[in-house]
């Protein structure tokens, strides 16, 4: 077995320190902490199922080595609610029925958070383009676009 390496980082607002195997990817690190919203599917950076925010930037957890989060801030889908209340994005995905099996949903939700933080009023084309790296095998795409638009509206109302 290879040597472990100790890393320190902020995980969903809490400081953490853990000894990991150097080959672990970010998804393996999160599963170690019981956070299973990000999962490994294609394992090649092609589907978006493993999306995680590192220092507020979306990364593919399947390709991102866990040692790289040393000193950084990780945000997962489990931390998007606001004090127990669903975020506007989470609420909108539920209201629009923007998922069937839900496997891809955490990735879409995180990417939508990032999109609306950068562009609070995206057009349909901008939404499709921004989410083009996330695949939904259930083909819930029309509902997902509707959910993003509703989320934008809910966010505006909340301001």
Q: Which residues bind ligand FES (CB under 6 A)?
A: 40-43, 45-50, 60, 62, 99-105, 136-138, 140
Sort 41 into a burial class: Cβ within 10 Å, 0-12 / 13-18 / 19+: middle
Q: What is the DSSP letter of 33?
A: T
Minimum Å distance from CB 127 to ligand FES? Answer: 16
* Nearest residue (CB) to ligand FES, 88 versus 107: 107
Least Cβ distance, residue 15 to ligand FES (angstroms): 26
Measured distance CA(89)–CA(151) in Å, rounded:
5
Comparing CB distances to ligand FES, the nearer of 18 and 42 is 42
Per the CB < 8 A criterion, the answer to whether 49 and 42 are in contact is yes
Q: How far is the CB of 138 from ligand FES (least distance, A)?
A: 3
Nearer of residues 94 and 138 to ligand FES, judged by Cβ: 138
Shortest spacing between CB 111 and ligand FES, in angstroms? 12
Smallest separation (angstroms) from ligand FES to the CB of 59: 9
Q: Is residue 91 packed enough to be buried (19+ CB in 10 Å), middle (13-18) or exposed (0-12)?
A: middle
Find the helix or strand (DSSP H, E) in which 125 lies.
helix 124-130
Whichever of 21 and 41 has its CB closer to ligand FES, that residue is 41
Determine the Cα–Cα distance for residues 23 and 4; give it in Å rounded to an integer. Answer: 9
Residue 86, classified by CB atoms within 10 Å of its CB into exposed (0-12), middle (13-18) or buried (19+), is: middle
Toward ligand FES, which CB reaches closer, 60 or 75? 60
């Amino acid at each position: 077995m290879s040597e472990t390496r100790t890393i320190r980082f902020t995980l969903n607002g809490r400081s953490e320190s853990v000894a990991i195997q150097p080959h672990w990817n970010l998804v393996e690190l999160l599963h170690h902490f019981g956070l299973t919203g990000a999962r490994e599917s294609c394992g090649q950076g092609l589907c978006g199922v493993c999306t995680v925010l590192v220092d507020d930037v979306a990364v593919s957890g399947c390709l991102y080595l866990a040692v790289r989060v040393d000193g950084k801030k990780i945000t997962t889908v489990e931390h998007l609610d606001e004090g127990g209340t669903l975020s506007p994005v989470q609420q909108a995905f539920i209201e629009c029925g923007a998922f069937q099996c839900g496997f891809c949903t955490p990735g879409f939700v995180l990417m939508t958070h990032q999109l609306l933080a950068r562009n609070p009023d995206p057009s349909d084309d901008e939404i499709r383009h921004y989410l083009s790296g996330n695949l939904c095998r259930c083909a819930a795409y029309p509902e997902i676009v509707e959910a993003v638009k509703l989320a934008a509206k809910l966010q505006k109302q909340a301001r």
